[in-house]
Structure 1
Amino acid sequence: MGSQAAAITSPVPVAWYPTLAILMLAVGLIVTASFFIYEATSSRRNRSLAKELTTGALASFFLGFGTLFLLLASGVYV
């Protein structure tokens, strides 16, 4: 009954938050740009649904975690 609860710590060091935010947002924006370029330059017959879904999911992943680390780096703990 006398045991204390362990403190909750981040699996990622706090000092890495700004670097991870910039890196993941940059990668996410590059993947997003490649998605838009693919959509603008390919014809309707040559488009691949699998490529579109994969690129969209990858961009969403990096932009989502980049936004999370940006919020954490700026002191908004979510």
Structure 2
Amino acid sequence: MAPSVKPISSPVPDAWYPTLALFMLAIGLMVTASFFIYEATSSRRNRSLAKELTTGAVASVFLGFGSLFLLIASGVYV
């Protein structure tokens, strides 16, 4: 006999998808805005590559997961 198989389920409840999409996209857009403000207001000599890469990576992660949750919340299963 084969062992009982559990169905695949999301670690996040389906009702949270729109809320997660909204918060993650909002955070991602705020981090992106701070990145643009940092780039526009700092001189070339005062810029830090580590800060730019970290800010870009954080914004990318939040915007990526926010877009994913937005697509899933709207019915596009990816």
TM-score when scaled to structure 1? 0.95
**Structure 2: any 5+ residue segments left out of the alignment?**
none
Kindly provide the amino acid, as one letter, of the partner of residue 59 in structure 1. Answer: A
| Deviation, structure 1 residue 5 | 2.5
Q: How does 1:54-73 map to 2 (within 5 A)?
A: 54-73=54-73
**Partners in 1 of 2:20 and 2:69 — Cα distance?**
6
Instruction: Count residues in correspondence.
Output: 78
Structure 1, unaligned runs of 5 or more: none
Cα separation, 1, equivalents of 2:38 and 2:48: 10
Partner of 2:35: 35
Q: Which residue of 1 aligns with 2:49?
A: 49
What is the deviation of 1:22?
0.2
Percent identical pairs in the alignment equals: 79
Structure 2 equivalent of residue 75 of structure 1 = 75
Which residue of 2 is the match for residue 19 of structure 1?
A: 19
Q: Distance in 2 between matches of 1:2 and 1:62?
A: 41
Q: Which amino acid aligns with 1:12?
A: V
